[in-house]
Structure 1
């Protein structure tokens, strides 16, 4: 039976009331901050929520410091350090992103007082800034020695580490859950995943390296989704319904172009995103086909479009019907992870809607806690 994700997960405020009911923390608010030029409104929304959760975990003693996997440009980590004076180790597999994070954080530090209206509550000694947030380049696996990474870069205290992940791509979201379960000194997990189409699924010839399904329940059934279903899980039904618009014309153009490419034996050609609004199918196709050596006339392109032009309404109906399945598939992926946490003895684990789904479509996060010491 299909269901909306909202019927199977906790509301953020309900979770906060349950876990942190004795805490009156207010210091995590960014209402007085102006981050123009340092992050988009979408990113600011996401960082504000995860900052709030992180501060509550820290203030209530669940964690002593954080490790942010897939740290990227350090949007969340830098603010946890600068705004809340919490130690964070940011890890990313890309050296370029790590260096970008270092540069961005240095710039943010220099401009910090200008972002905060109430500076008396936010300023910190200069000698503490450099010790609160460290960035390292490292390709993370379940076998990564996180205790050594923390000892070498951040703190002599490796107990009660909180594991953060904001939009961990593909396998990294599932890998983060395995890492949390495996490491006895990791006391809290807060993970929001994305890019489900990059997930490695169960393959009978490669059973050691799959990240869906995780749970014993689905694994025993040899359950598979397939790439098309995983691609669909990343669609945003909320945004489509909110806009109350038909799919962009380029979706229809892309479908026709796929037929055209198949005809010319380009079955797996990667077009990528065409950002400009094309006024005709011919213009769209010309832009998309720049990467090929195909010598195609405008007449052939126009004939191809005219052949399928009458199917546009049917395409729109199919597109919308298909999008209605997206929440069910995303629910299945995330509930599999929640079940995996429970199967491994992590009873304090929750699936939570963290973000506004219109502003941030990948809005569901897994929050899990271990009692240590």
Structure 2
């Protein structure tokens, strides 16, 4: 393990150095393009190279690995910036998986009863993750799967009804638990009707057990969960508690913010948790180092001792928010020269007008203006200014100063694209931090037990933790596609099985498109079980 550990440590250190070098670019808000003169922050040679590059050429030259359509000679420093960012970021496509779909559609690999209420994006995710969970559960000898942050129970339902696994679904929002139980009852009714007609339905008759409660990240071996919100004051029984020798696989599909970190702590500390799969999201909600470390010892980032010891490892809210952007989706907009790109400039001009009228109004949330790209700027401003308490009649919305800023729309897009190129590096650093944490915890667990930091185990202690990061989903419509897999047993057979399956993955072909899903999410949309993040300024710039 020393070889992989050293490589991961070196990669994390290299990313920290690169992010520190480009921090003014990473921490910049594109809505402040004019108010903070962001274009002037770029080296003059970069300004000259990027000022008039059309969006499709920008996508090919900047966001794609190979620049085959660039006709101008770019500065070596800009080429080095791109090459470094792409080399240090984790690959987001499986080296053997062939994706041919252009848009998510109904998955023919899921029985129709398991598709109901499930968006196409989520269908793809639960089927792919379910395969990993089943193999990992078998390899680790697990008796039960515990799905934390289960939301409306889509993953839990597939694991139980579709794969026949014993599943406990834990969700902190009691209303989502009620919805999940209602969906389970609907599925069981439809299953019985189909069986009564003599139809052969490839489903198991046992559903998941739903629990309304929250895990305590500091004490996974307690017998009770924290109470749900809203819910009764007393917590329900903890499926990871200390009763009995049951071995558990812990999973979380897009567990929001610190919840994904809590899963790692439970895996590292609880002798009952034998395996883990974690797909994170909402990095901006991670707790970070406070002014006084003693006030909050359990942080979401940094998690590992190695990353915490790197000078300049801190990540701003803006950097962590940027890591949640859909790079592949944005590259597609550039290639198509989408009219939606002009809303970046619209929002930056609007910010200039707002601050000129009231300097105290900075980075205010302007709710999405529907089809903003189809409007003229005066029409856009007429809708946006009242949302921050300003009267549009007090502004000259078609002045020469406004038109001069609007003519710089291509520069705004180029600047945003540069910042977006750093986003995968931030995500890679956060995930590397988690991988290193597990390696650190697995290497010294016995010492912490003997020192009394952890309780005596009821199950044998492993010599170390096995862990890996896998690009599991198609990143074009599931941007948070890297799954952290960990086990207290060898992972080789599980990872080998994934490699064998990836060449003929049925999700990579043309699935049937039944068109009967009533709630189709756009690429990169938030999962329904995840609380919405604080409105980002970049999202505001899209409308």
Indicate the TM-score class for this superposition, using the shorter chain for normalisation: 0.7 to 0.9
The partner residue of 1:348 within 466, 473, 496 is 466
> Matched residues in 2 for 1:49 and 1:281: separation?
43
For the pair 1:217 / 2:306, whether they are aligned, the reply is yes
- Name the counterpart of 2:488: 370
Give how far 1:355 is off: 0.5
Instruction: Name the one with the larger strand percent.
Output: 1
- Equivalent pairs, count: 353
Give the deviation of 1:144 after TM superposition. Answer: 5.1
Bigger RCO (CA 8 Å, 6+ sep): 2
1:239 to 326, 329, 337: 329
Q: Secondary structure at the match of 2:475?
A: coil
Aligned to 2:429: 332
Structure 2 residue 272 is the aligned partner of structure 1 residue 192: no
Structure 2 CA distance for aligned equivalents of residues 259 and 209 of structure 1: 40
- Alignment correspondent of 2:85: 2
Aligned to 1:297: 393
**Structure 2 residue aligned with 1:17:** none
Larger Rg: 2
Match of 2:378 in 1: 282
Taking a change above 3 Å as real, the CA distance of residues 210 and 262 of structure 1, as seen in their structure-2 partners, is: farther
Shift of 1:188: 0.7
CA shift at 1:141, angstroms? Answer: 2.6
Deviation digits for residues 304-350 of structure 1 (CA, Å, limit 9, x no counterpart) = 74241122111111011111111111111111111111111153000
Aligned pair partner of 2:141 in 49, 55, 62: 62
- The question of 1:167 aligning with 2:167 is answered no
Cα distance, 1:36–1:289 mapped onto 2, change above 3 Å:
farther
Task: Indicate how the Cα distance of structure 1 residues 104 and 336 shifts in structure 2: closer, same or farther if over 3 A, else same.
Answer: same
Shift of 1:299: 4.7
1:92 and 2:171 matched: yes
Using the TM superposition, give the Cα deviation of residue 267 of structure 1 relative to its aligned residue in structure 2, in angstroms: 1.7
- In the aligned structure 2, how far is the partner of 1:71 from the partner of 1:226? 28
Whether the aligned pair in 2 keeps the contact of 1:194 and 1:362 (CA below 8 Å) is: yes
Q: Within 2, Cα distance between the matches of 1:65 and 1:250? A: 48
Partners of 1:357 and 1:5 in 2: how far apart?
Answer: 18
Distance 2:167 2:222 in 1: 13
TM-score by length of 1: 0.83
CA distance in 1, matches of 2:140, 2:436: 26
Cα distance change of structure 1 residues 9 and 181 upon mapping to structure 2, 3 Å threshold: farther
Aligned-partner SS, 1:89: strand
In structure 1, C-alpha distance between the alignment counterparts of 2:415 and 2:175, rounded to whole Å: 41
Residue 215 of structure 1 contacts residue 340 of structure 1 at CA under 8 Å; is this kept in 2?
yes
Which blocks of at least 5 consecutive residues in structure 2 are unaligned? 1-83, 98-106, 226-235, 443-463, 491-543
Q: Secondary structure at the match of 2:397?
A: helix
The equivalent residue for 1:20 is none
2:290 is the counterpart of 1:203: yes
Kept in 1: contact 2:254–2:278 (CA 8 A): yes
Partner secondary structure for residue 223 of structure 2: helix
SS in 2 for 1:352: strand
Structure 1: distance between partners of 2:88 and 2:260: 18
In the other structure, the counterpart of 2:217 is: 142
Q: Distance in 2 between matches of 1:10 and 1:368?
A: 20
> For residues 7-22 of structure 1, what are the structure 2 equivalents within 5 Å?
11=94
1:250 aligns with 2:343: yes
Give me the CA root mean square deviation. 3.2
> How has the CA–CA distance of structure 1 residues 299 and 72 changed in structure 2, closer, same or farther, with 3 Å as cutoff?
same
Cα pair 1:203 1:210 within 8 Å, conserved: no
Sort the Cα spacing of 1:48 and 1:236 in 2 relative to 1 into closer, same or farther, 3 A.
same
Confirm whether residue 227 of structure 1 aligns to residue 326 of structure 2.
no
Q: Is the 8 A contact 1:194 1:234 kept in 2?
A: yes
Aligned to 1:269: 364
Q: Is the 8 A contact 2:381 2:392 kept in 1?
A: no
C-alpha distance in 2 between matches for 1:101 and 1:56: 25
Give the CA deviation at 1:250: 2.0
Shift of 1:170: 1.4
Which consecutive residues of structure 1, in runs of 5 or more, have no partner in the other structure?
15-28
SS at match of 1:269: coil
State how far apart, in whole Å, the 2-side matches of 1:325 and 1:145 are.
Answer: 35
Q: CA deviation at 1:269?
A: 2.0
**Per-residue deviation, 1:112:** 4.1
2:155 aligned with 1:76: yes
